Amino acid sequence: MAQEKNKSKATEYIDAILVAVAFLIFINLYIVKTFYIPSSSMENTLLIGDHLFVNKFIYGPTKWEWEKKFLPFRDPKRGDVVIFRSKETPMMDLVKRLIGLPGDIITIQAKQLYLNGKNIDESAYAIFRDPFILQGPSAPPRDFFGPFKVRENHFFFLGDNRDFSNDSRFWGDLPRSHIRGRAFLVYWSYGGHTLGANGEPINAITLAIHLIRTTIGFIPKTRWSRTFHVVR
């Protein structure tokens, strides 16, 4: 009898663990995903080492009108900080700010953004760290771009660290199918070494070294003031 009870308890524990794992997988796939920042392209909104919660539910497709009324679905909006699959490397996720909606005309003149002919004040989020303005026939489209019309069912993205961001100025507008969700909360920010930040290959050795570094530096290198920081 005692052996049967032990087996029954063990079975209950295993079932509970399996249910919890299945629930976490479901949450991660369909509702909330975690993401970390490996580059400086969104500074100072997001810093290298910020770990985010991403709302994958908000942009979900809706079949019925009542879903939009009673469930928290909505279309992507200008100003959203969005996680999406890279056009150049589809297996990689990127994070940028949504600037242009379908049909918008995007123009950049000497680093100044114009949306449908109107000069946009970006002082609340955009930073410009390079004082030089790149121009001329052979210059990259960093400081002068467009006019460019965003295609139907596509979106235009820019990094907040405008002079050091690989974004829609270089690879064009992004199809909606690439969008994965909206960044909404920093749950942990680590100021130490970030895996993949320097472009090093990620293998078992670098992963083990990273885990050791993070464990040792967790308390002194965590940016505690950014914990539960809302992304805007």
Q: What confidence tens digit (pLDDT) does each residue in 158-169 have?
A: 999 999 999 999
Q: Are 29 and 55 in contact (CB under 8 A)?
A: no
Question: Which band of pLDDT confidence, cut at 50, 70 and 90, is reported for residue 24?
Answer: very low
Question: Which band of pLDDT confidence, cut at 50, 70 and 90, is reported for residue 200?
Answer: low
Closest C-alpha to 44, from 159, 121, 158? 159
Question: Which band of pLDDT confidence, cut at 50, 70 and 90, is reported for residue 187?
Answer: very high
Question: Which class would CATH give 34-103+153-230?
Answer: mainly beta
Please tell me the pTM assigned to this model. 0.81
* Residue 201 or 24, more confident: 201
Q: Is the pLDDT of residue 103 over 50?
A: yes
* Residue 204 or 116, more confident: 116
* Residue 103 or 25, more confident: 103
- For the residues 128-141, what does the mean pLDDT come to? 94
Indicate the Cα dihedral angle 163, 168, 170, 172, nearest 10°.
-170
Question: Which band of pLDDT confidence, cut at 50, 70 and 90, is reported for residue 85?
Answer: very high
Q: Is the pLDDT of residue 227 over 50?
A: yes
Residues classed as catalytic: 41, 96
Share of the chain above pLDDT 90, in %: 57
User: What is the C-alpha to C-alpha distance for residues 157 and 153, in angstroms, rounded to an integer?
Assistant: 14
Q: What are phi and psi of 60, to 5 degrees?
A: -60, 145
